[in-house]
Amino acid sequence: MLTEKVTIQSKKNSELINVTDKVSELIAKSKIKEGFVQVFTLHTSSAMLINEDEPGLEEDISDFMLKLVPEEGTYRHHHFFPQDGRPAINAWAHIRSCLLGSHVALLVFNGELFKGGRQNIYFVELDGPKRRSFVVQVVGAV
Amino acid sequence: MMIDFHVHPLIDSIIDNEGILESVQKIFYWTNKPEPIDTLLSQMELAKIDKAVLLPIDCTTTYGCKLPSNEAVSKLVNEYPDKFVGFGSVDPHKKDAVKEISDVVESMGLRGLKLSPPLQKFSPNDFTLMSPIYKKIEELDVPVVIHSGMFWQFTEKLSISKPILFDEVALKHPNLKIVLSHFGFPWIWEATVVIMKHPNIYVDLANPFTTTPFEHFELIFNRILGKRVVESCIEKKILFGSCFPRIEIDKMVKALKRLPLEEKTINRIFSENAKTLLKM
């Protein structure tokens, strides 16, 4: 089994970041030939997703989430939190994260990701730009 | 050129180098994980902020820390001269505070000062302590950003940050250029009369203390003051400030742009007033 935290830097408010190569690299490092890999985001205002690597589609998904959960609105979460030293102004990001999910799981076969040709793993930034982390865990037989 | 007049340079590399994580958490009340310089630069780029004014706070006597040091600010400005304008901070309780102000401006090249009554534990109208400091800043002809309004330090009285205290400060030091941060919230009318009366006092808009940035600005500009008062009486005395890292810069910028204020007024708040104060 291999468990590793990966840190990335987002540059936009809402952004899909393709992390497939990084996950493949960690599968190779684990030397696991057959099993599965789970990828978890460590933030409740981000998500993990599997979809096609096409820039137009990445924008479509981001834009659709903006329309589905609008930023303008009366959210109870939006107020100052003295214990954090800051206001929370991102209820919409948390709700989008609920809809997209916080993890993905894929199969590992012959030491590689067993996935469709167009399937890619994305870290979904929903309240950037920020430094973000996700955890990759590869489990199976060497 | 858009200027953010209120950025705390508490990024991870500075916090690590200066060993101030515990102070940032317990004194500055910032408990989120510190972000890297890339996050600050990306937030500025996204918000179309060209320059950010970096504000440290020297709490040596009160808490034994600097949040962060003037040297850290100076180094960051030297690394990113196009992005940052550095201010310094001095501990008003130090015996050599006046000399240090000269060093900060004349030797380090920092372009203003930052003071915080709640964190540095002083009252702005304690003239025995503060007059030599105000006088030196006045002589150097640089602005000083002073915390006013709401704060969360449970050990201090809110009354030390009331905007009306600066009426007396300005009477004694009429050439001192003061920026009252946070618009003195919740004492908005107090701050307004002070900036209307005194030509050298300004306010910044940092940190939405109530709900969202838009709702907070809407409360101040529409429901408390009203569009006419803002546009006719104080549009040249308001500076945009975010309060990074307490809030994402682009959320503050977007909120201000949504207000139904004249474009000319918005431009003054984002750009012209800060340029005048910084002599740019």
CATH value at residue B180: 3.20.20.140
Residues of A in contact with B29 (CB under 8 A): 82-83, 85
- For residue A46, the domain's CATH number is 2.60.120.460
- Look at residue B229 and tell me whether its pLDDT is greater than 90: yes
> Does A108 map to a domain?
yes
CA distance B211 to chain A (A): 4
Sequence-distant (6+) residues with CB within 8 A of A104 are A38, A39, A48, A49, A50, A121
Residue A40 belongs to domain spanning: 2-70+90-141
- Quote the percentage of chain B above a pLDDT of 70: 100
Please say whether the beta carbons of B5 and B53 come within 8 A: yes
**Inter-CA distances, B238 with B180, B192, B203, B205, Å:** 10, 10, 5, 7
How many domains are contained in chain A?
A: 1
Q: Encoding tokens for residue B142?
A: 């640089």
Q: Which residues face A35 on adjacent strands?
A: A108, A140
Interchain contact, A87 vs B212, CB within 8 Å: yes
Q: Encoding tokens for residue B275?
A: 């340029």
Confidence of residue B209 (pLDDT cuts 50, 70, 90): confident
Nearest CA in chain B to A73: B212
**Whether the predicted model's global pTM rises above the 0.90 cut:** yes
- Look at residue A85 and tell me whether its pLDDT is greater than 90: no
> Does A82 map to a domain?
no
> Does A81 map to a domain?
no
Look at residue B101 in the predicted model and tell me its pLDDT. 98
Q: Encoding tokens for residue B103?
A: 């060093």
Give the three-class secondary structure for B57.
strand
Look at residue B7 in the predicted model and tell me its pLDDT. 98
Residue B238 belongs to domain spanning: 3-278
Look at residue A84 in the predicted model and tell me its pLDDT. 86
Look at residue A72 in the predicted model and tell me its pLDDT. 87
Residues of B in contact with A79 (CB under 8 A): 210-211
> Does A37 map to a domain?
yes
- Weakest mean pLDDT among A17-26, B73-82, B204-213: B204-213
What pLDDT digit, counting tens, does each position of B134-191 carry? 999 999 999 999 999 998 888 889 999 999 999 999 999 999 999 999 999 999 999 9
Look at residue A13 in the predicted model and tell me its pLDDT. 93
Give the ipTM. 0.89
Q: Which of B35, B211, B217, B246 should we substitute to test contact with A (largest number of A Cβ atoms within 10 Å)? A: B211
> Does A34 map to a domain?
yes
What pLDDT digit, counting tens, does each position of B2-60 carry? 999 999 999 999 999 999 999 999 999 999 999 999 999 999 999 999 999 999 999 99
How many domains are contained in chain B?
A: 1
- Give the A window 68-127 contacts with B, CB below 8 Å: 72, 78-80, 82-87, 89, 127
> Does A115 map to a domain?
yes
- Weakest mean pLDDT among A78-87, A128-137, B138-147, B171-180: A78-87
Cβ-based interface (< 8 Å): residues of B facing A:
28-33, 35-36, 38-39, 42-43, 45-46, 152, 207-215, 245-248, 250-251
